[in-house]
Each structure stands twice: as C-alpha cells, then as structure tokens.
Amino acid sequence: MAVDSPAAAWHHHRVRLDELRTLALRHLAASEYAAALRIHAHILAALPQDLDGRMRVGDICVRLGQLDLARPVYAAVAYLDVQTGRPAHALVALAALRDLGEQVEPLLEAIARLYAVGSPRIGRVGARLSPPAPERELGLPAPPRARAGGELAEALRAAVSRAAETASFRQFPAQLQPLPLLSELTEAALHRVLQAATVHRLTHGAQVVRQGDPGKSFYFVAAGEVRVVRREPGGAAVETELARLYEGALFGEMALIQAEPRSASVEVVGAADLVAFGAGAIRAAADELPALAAALARYTRERLVRNAVAASPLFAPFSPAERLELLGRFTLCELPAGVVHRRGEPVEALLLVVAGELSVVRGEPPFDEVAARVGPGECVGEAELLAEQPATTTLRAERPTLALSLSADYLRRLVLTVPEVRAFLESQASRRLLLIEEPLI
C-alpha cells in the first residue's frame, strides 16, 4: 500500500482559520516569533484580505524592535482599511503609526473626507470588506526551510512582504458603507471627532465598561469580539449574556443618551481593538450634536426594547420568531413625567416599561402612597384588563418613561390562546393586589 510521505501528508491536512490564528497566538505567547510569523505569512498568502492578520504582523515587528518593518505594514493596513470600508480599523492602524512617530494627520483628513455626510463614496448599498470567515479551511504552513540561525530573519521577511503589499487588491468598491452614526457629521466635525478618538487594543477578559458605572464614552468594535452581560440587581450570581458584538458594532451609547449608569458590562472575548469616543470627541461634534444624538438614540431604543423583552416573563413562552411577532403588536410610547391614568379611569392598554419608571399609587392626595414601582421589563395594567374594570389605582410616571403598549383587545386574545401568559399575568395581578390592599398606615 502506498503511504504518503510526511511532506505530502502535511499538504493534505486542512485546518480552520481560527485554529491557525490561535496557534499563532500561542507561539507569540511563548515568544516563538518565527513560528507565529510563518503562520501569518501562510494565511496571508491564501487570504490577503485578512487585514487583522496583517496588523498582527506589524505588532510582532514592533515587539521585535523592527520599527522600520512595522511602518509599511501599518500604512498598508490603514490604506486598505480606508479603501475597503473599515474606517474604524483604519484608526487602529493610524494610532499604531502615530506611536511610531509617524505623521498621520493627512490620513485622518482623508478618512473624514471619504466618510463625512454627502461624500460621493458613501452609499446605502455600499460595500465593506468582511474579514475572512473563521471556519474557512486552509492547508498547514510548510515547515521552516532556513536553518535555526536565519529562521527569524527569513520569517520576518516573508511575513512583512505579504503584510505590506497592496497590489493584490486590484479593485476597491465604488461605494462604501457609512460609519455608523458618524457619517451623519460634516467633514470638519468628523475630522475633529476622529482626532479626539482614542484606540484601545485589549485582550481576553478585559472589562471595557462596568454595569452601574457612570458612562462617559461610547465605543466602536474595530476588530474582534465583545460580549454584553448583565447582572440583575440583587441576583448577583446570575449573569445574562445580552449580546455578542463584532466588527462594526457600537456600544456604550445608552448611558450617554439616558444619562443613567451603564446598563450592562462589556467584556472582551479573545481579543478586540476598540475606538473610544469620550467627552472630548463629543464636544468636538458639539455644533452638530442633534444629528449625533438622534442616531445614538435610535440604537439605544432598539436595545432597550430588546432588553425589556429579554427580561419580561410575558415573552418567555415564545420562540424567537414568535417574540418578534408579538413585539410587532406593541407600540412604543413616550410617557411624560406625570399621571398616566387616575383611579376610576378606563385602562386602555397593558404597559411594559422599557426605560424609566412607573408608580402604582393608592389613596388620594395628600394621603397617597406609592404601593409598587414598575421598572424596565415589568408590566402594569394586567389586573384591570383581565377583570375588565376601570383603574383601581392611579398610575404615574416618575420621570419621562418609555413603554411598550399592548391594546386591551390583543391582550385578551393572547390570554385566551396562551395559558402561560394568562398564568403569569394572573399571578402578577394577585401579587400586586396584596400590596395595594395592605392597610395604609
């Protein structure tokens, strides 16, 4: 029987891109620079669009003190990022160049020109180079050819020539995707904002924002992955993962918009390059803040609604598709601070609080008293709607409150068809009744 020679077997073996990257990271952690560089050169030979891999080659050059080799690599990454629709990652490469003493101002200006509002290169259906899929399969890198002494120099040469070349990109997309929210700014404002942005290159487990802290910055994920986790107040040990965010995503905007503490913690998974926009960057856009604030508010609303749905037992019996369908039956309403309905008035809808707070008030002024507080993810109005009665208590918004409202008609149909919803609403109604009927002291 013919047996493959070891070299041939080597070529037949295929590994996933993410496994190769992990292997490179392991070599790096063990200071085996030649081996790490060989893996990156090998990946880049097959996937020149792996700009994150190119960035790593630049980083290894810096670690080795080969600054003159790092410069063209970072410059190529910045150029390709800008031309392929990854401006946030271009900022990471520019920060690396700036750290090497390079003048990056003209490149920042170019980004601002290309991505500002009204730029002819920005389109609704614009393209963005997506990073290669982690499950993509590649062959294994060939073993080193050079003898031990020359191995590092040879690996450096091979990796840098792959990481710094730009000729393999013959065409760039004519239309690019806008920068989330920042592409609403004029060129001058965007330029100032980009100048004030800071870059953070973080490793696994780093906590970027902590739930409960005051919020002063928002962030873009330029590369890598983060996860959003929340601990329910009181239930310290239970942690819910709300989302995983990848390149191109934005986070940390909710605390800014709502002037409330951070709603969740955000931690790095694996490694992540982030661009932070702090007070300075926001001040830099001051004269165009309404556009920025409106765009930030759109993100915030979507996330608030998603989190309220995730927290509400009302949605628990449903599959993700059914939840979306049910969500479509609700309307989002902004309740100004003040009375929502008084005792004795008809209750028209079930209200699910998304942000802010409602108070269930019993008794009449001046002897009124808050019997229950209804916060995000909680609902109110079920008792009256189920019993088809007018309001037994007064409902008041303590501050401007965002709520999802479900019409009485739809709620009645829902409780008839989904017994879990009826059971939940009935148990909540009777719990609240106990609170309300407790004697006033």
Q: Which residues bind ligand CMP (CB under 6 A)?
A: 209, 215, 228, 242-243, 251-255, 262-264, 266, 303, 306-307
φ, ψ for residue 200, nearest 5 deg: -125, 120
To ligand CMP, the closest distance from the beta carbon of 252 in angstroms equals 4
Do 313 and 378 touch, CB atoms closer than 8 A? Answer: no
To ligand CMP, the closest distance from the beta carbon of 241 in angstroms equals 10
Close Cβ partners of 423 (under 8 Å, ≥ 6 residues apart): none
**Alpha-carbon 62 to chain mean position:** 29
To ligand CMP, the closest distance from the beta carbon of 263 in angstroms equals 3
Do 440 and 369 touch, CB atoms closer than 8 A? Answer: yes
Torsion of CA 157, 159, 164, 166, to 10 degrees: 120
To ligand CMP, the closest distance from the beta carbon of 228 in angstroms equals 4
Give the nearer residue to ligand CMP in terms of CB position, either 187 or 225: 225
Give the nearer residue to ligand CMP in terms of CB position, either 42 or 230: 230
Give the nearer residue to ligand CMP in terms of CB position, either 194 or 255: 255
To ligand CMP, the closest distance from the beta carbon of 283 in angstroms equals 18
Close Cβ partners of 73 (under 8 Å, ≥ 6 residues apart): 54, 55, 57, 58, 61, 160, 163, 164
**Cα angle, residue 95 at apex, residues 179 and 56 outer, rounded to 5°:** 95
Give the nearer residue to ligand CMP in terms of CB position, either 254 or 386: 254
Q: In what order do the strands lie in the sheet with 401-407?
A: 331-335, 401-407, 349-355, 379-380
Give the nearer residue to ligand CMP in terms of CB position, either 242 or 349: 242
3-state secondary structure of 238: coil
Do 74 and 58 touch, CB atoms closer than 8 A? Answer: yes
Read off the tokens for 16. Answer: 């996933």
Eight-class DSSP state of 135: T
Alpha carbon distance 122, 118 (integer Å) = 8
Do 174 and 121 touch, CB atoms closer than 8 A? Answer: yes
Alpha carbon distance 353, 333 (integer Å) = 10
To ligand CMP, the closest distance from the beta carbon of 303 in angstroms equals 4
To ligand CMP, the closest distance from the beta carbon of 179 in angstroms equals 16
To ligand CMP, the closest distance from the beta carbon of 353 in angstroms equals 16
Strand partners, 403: 333, 353
Give the nearer residue to ligand CMP in terms of CB position, either 262 or 362: 262
Alpha carbon distance 387, 380 (integer Å) = 13
Strand partners, 111: none
Give the nearer residue to ligand CMP in terms of CB position, either 303 or 432: 303
To ligand CMP, the closest distance from the beta carbon of 230 in angstroms equals 7
Give the nearer residue to ligand CMP in terms of CB position, either 266 or 350: 266
Give the nearer residue to ligand CMP in terms of CB position, either 197 or 209: 209
Give the nearer residue to ligand CMP in terms of CB position, either 29 or 236: 236
To ligand CMP, the closest distance from the beta carbon of 304 in angstroms equals 8
